[in-house]
Structure 1
Amino acid sequence: MKPSAVVFAYHNIGVTGIECLLQTGVEIKLVVTHQDDPEENIWFGSVAELAGRHQIPVITPDAPNQAEVIKHIADLHPQWFFSFYYRHMLSPELLAIPPRGAYNLHGSLLPKYRGRAPVNWAVLHGESTTGVSLHQMVEKPDAGSLIDQEAVAILPNDTAHDVFLKLTPAAKTLLDRCLPLLLAGKIEPKPLDLAQGNYFGGRKPEHGRIDWHQSAWNIHNLVRAVAPPYPGAFFDFDGKRFFLFGSHYSGETALNPGKVRIYWADGHFYADCADNNRFRIEQLSCDGIALDQAAFNAITNNGQLFPNANS
């Protein structure tokens, strides 16, 4: 008899996870996903569309832990649960349904970066490595025993989006390797030492505000952690809101050490920072308008902007 599962999924990783389960021969009895939020930039693949192409039933409950949802899923008698980038926690009542267990794919090398937005947090903290982890689901988030992991490199100028694009094929590599063994009962889960990791909450657009007292490397990490398709890093100056939508760091010394400033040089915007290093700004906007040198000069004194001047 074919193994059967209910899958909770969203995003590109959700699409990849479902494809891997189907390739492994799993009968997916139901996909539980999210309605797309009109306020969110939807740049990723659709789990619902993929399920529709394979004639898999789909539901999009606002909360999966409602009694009617739990009953509906229990009546399907799935052997397994799999969660791939689904955004809600599953209750103990739900997790108790599948006799063969419930497993989640998380976007970090657990136990590091448990919780929400693991890729963005890893980039923000200047990590050089992250990855994907398949682990058992328990009531506590991202705390169940580990099945397998696959690592990817974070290069110094990778954005969070760049890293996420690396995680999708890493997820396929991981699932192709471990799903057949897991389904056959040939993998022994390894307990996580949560003391060796950390937990992070979700991020909001306001968390992209730049503190110009920080080093060039730290500000660059913030810029690339929230670069498009995420909302972007920003600061307010003289009643205007400026966004940095990309940056490049190479360890250069500030052109004018001792002053925190933004200026135009050699065909690019640069930011000299408090540690006397600088980074290149790939795109700078003011109140929603992308700036070039002429537009920047028109709204600044002598083509320079000192972000800390009114802080």
Structure 2
Amino acid sequence: MTRAVVFAYHNVGVRSLRVLLAQGIRIDLVVTHEDNPDENIWFGSVAQVCRDCDIPYITPADPNVPEVEARIAALAPDFVFSFYYRHMLKAPILAAPSRGAFNLHGSLLPQYRGRVPVNWAIIHGETETGVTLHVMNIKPDNGAIVDQLAVPILPDDTAHDVFEKVAVAGELCLHRALPRLVAGTATFTPQDLSQGGYFGGRKLEDGRIDWRQSAQQLHDLVRAVTHPYPGAFSDTPRGRLTLWRTRRIDAVPSTSDGGRVTLWAADDKLWLRCADGGLLRVLDATLDGKPLKPDALSAPLEFES
């Protein structure tokens, strides 16, 4: 029987664990994370899957410590897999499996190596992303590719929408590639790292709106950081404005000043003219912590671009 140690978290971790079990992989240990009480936990629980399926699991703050490394080495797994686990794995863990260590990454490598690849792809206006199963080494997301599967990013897709597609694509990609890994017939294609870049994590402050952006750039930011993320925001004299949902449009009711970045209400709707003259309809927003409705915006809000 093929045996594995699995590092997993999030919906991709849940789905991927189920693929391994369905294909008869014996999982001797799962390493996952304790949920952070300060984080919006909107995704499935790897720990719950382990409890349901009687799989031993641990939640170390740092997996790269001698006691965890020794435990994994003693298990002598055939494979180590990482499915949306948040820590880099160092050389002793990567060397433990006899048949290799593999990671499932949420982009079409070598594009968008690093953190939160779905969010970055939307911010940059991509129309496609996907998942890549690749060899793990001590450098992040640069090992040889085993398999990939693409998914579309539609014009109004949010990060949550795309992540749901990526989670399913990860399941399909792993399900397709796993028999070849087990049989020893998988092919390994080196990455051309010149064709992609590395991106870091994002913080709440990265959602602050730059009003010099075009309408398309602002729309992409809004959908990349909307729920369950903290949102795209700007501080105004009336309180913090957070844009949660927008849509590109061609024409809106006119205002008195056509040259400024302006948010205004007309026809019982909210409209936003951006620095490039492009137009957005604001479908969901809050101002000073309260839902912003058209009848509550008594005077337009203007922004420096």
TM-score normalized with structure 2 length: 0.97
CA contact under 8 A between 1:133 and 1:149: conserved in structure 2?
yes
Residue 234 of structure 2 aligns to a residue in which SS? strand
1:56 aligns with 2:52: no
* Structure 1 Cα separation of the partners of residues 212 and 252 of structure 2: 16
Q: What does 1:41-120 align with in structure 2 at a 5 Å threshold?
A: 41-120=40-119
Aligned to 2:280: 279
Deviations 1:230-253 (A, max 9, x none): 110000111611111111124557
Change (3 A) 1:35 1:277: same
Identity %: 53
* Structure 2 Cα separation of the partners of residues 251 and 131 of structure 1: 30
* Structure 1 Cα separation of the partners of residues 239 and 140 of structure 2: 40
Change (3 A) 1:252 1:184: farther
* Structure 2 Cα separation of the partners of residues 104 and 58 of structure 1: 18
Deviations 1:158-179 (A, max 9, x none): 1111100111111121111111
**After alignment, is 245-254 or 115-124 more displaced?**
245-254
Partner AA of 2:26 in structure 1: E
1:8 aligns with 2:7: yes
- Tell me by how many angstroms 1:284 deviates: 1.3
Deviations 1:49-81 (A, max 9, x none): 001100000100000001111111111111100
Aligned to 2:290: 289
**After alignment, is 183-192 or 264-273 more displaced?**
264-273
Aligned to 2:128: 129
CA contact under 8 A between 2:253 and 2:266: conserved in structure 1?
no
CA contact under 8 A between 2:266 and 2:294: conserved in structure 1?
no
- Tell me by how many angstroms 1:254 deviates: 8.3
Aligned to 1:147: 146
* Structure 1 Cα separation of the partners of residues 294 and 195 of structure 2: 47
1:219 aligns with 2:215: no
Change (3 A) 1:251 1:97: farther
* Structure 2 Cα separation of the partners of residues 237 and 76 of structure 1: 57
CA contact under 8 A between 1:146 and 1:191: conserved in structure 2?
yes
* Structure 2 Cα separation of the partners of residues 74 and 90 of structure 1: 14
CA contact under 8 A between 2:265 and 2:295: conserved in structure 1?
no
CA contact under 8 A between 1:254 and 1:273: conserved in structure 2?
no
Q: What does 1:240-251 align with in structure 2 at a 5 Å threshold?
A: 240-251=239-250
* Structure 2 Cα separation of the partners of residues 77 and 138 of structure 1: 18
* Structure 2 Cα separation of the partners of residues 228 and 49 of structure 1: 24
The runs of at least 4 aligned residues of structure 1 exceeding 3 Å deviation read 250-257
1:307 aligns with 2:289: no
CA contact under 8 A between 1:255 and 1:272: conserved in structure 2?
no
CA contact under 8 A between 1:254 and 1:272: conserved in structure 2?
no
Residue 245 of structure 1 aligns to a residue in which SS? strand
- Tell me by how many angstroms 1:255 deviates: 4.0
Residue 172 of structure 1 aligns to a residue in which SS? helix
* Structure 2 Cα separation of the partners of residues 25 and 254 of structure 1: 61
TM-score normalized with structure 1 length: 0.95
Change (3 A) 1:142 1:293: same
Partner AA of 2:133 in structure 1: L
CA contact under 8 A between 1:131 and 1:151: conserved in structure 2?
yes
CA contact under 8 A between 1:119 and 1:160: conserved in structure 2?
yes
* Structure 1 Cα separation of the partners of residues 165 and 236 of structure 2: 36
* Structure 2 Cα separation of the partners of residues 36 and 141 of structure 1: 23
- Tell me by how many angstroms 1:115 deviates: 0.1
Where do 5+ consecutive residues of structure 2 fail to align?
Answer: none
Partner AA of 1:227 in structure 2: T
* Structure 1 Cα separation of the partners of residues 241 and 281 of structure 2: 15
RMSD value, Cα? 1.3
Aligned to 2:177: 178
- Tell me by how many angstroms 1:293 deviates: 2.1
* Structure 2 Cα separation of the partners of residues 175 and 22 of structure 1: 12
* Structure 2 Cα separation of the partners of residues 39 and 252 of structure 1: 41
Deviations 1:111-159 (A, max 9, x none): 0000000000000000000000000000000000000000000011111
Residue 297 of structure 2 aligns to a residue in which SS? helix
Residue 125 of structure 2 aligns to a residue in which SS? coil
